[in-house]
Amino acid sequence: MTRFNDQFCETPYERNERRRKARHQQALATLHGLIVDLSAGLADEGPDWSLDGFLALRKRVANALPPDKCPDWLKPYRDPPMVQS
């Protein structure tokens, strides 16, 4: 019964704000992970990535960027857009 009553404790504005903050935190975590992985390219020894590693990294970077900021050469690595029904 408490769970049923708790669903009305939050206003639509509060729910939207909570969801917006969660999406923002998820985006930050994704970008921080990419920065950590790409930082290997700055090491003195240089990165030792396999071809599969390069492809996976390109895909992650392409999907992390907004479509309007994604360079043309990375666009083929983007996942297809999701269709909402």
For residues 70 and 62, the answer to whether their CB atoms sit within 8 Å is: yes
pLDDT tens, 28-78?
Answer: 998 888 888 887 776 767 677 788 888 888 898 888 888 898 899 999 999
Could you please report the per-residue DSSP string of 41-76?
A: GGSTT-----HHHHHHHHHHHHHHS-TTTS-TTTGG
Task: Decide if pLDDT at 2 tops 70.
Answer: no
For residues 49 and 57, the answer to whether their CB atoms sit within 8 Å is: yes
State the pLDDT at residue 35. 86
For residues 42 and 12, the answer to whether their CB atoms sit within 8 Å is: no
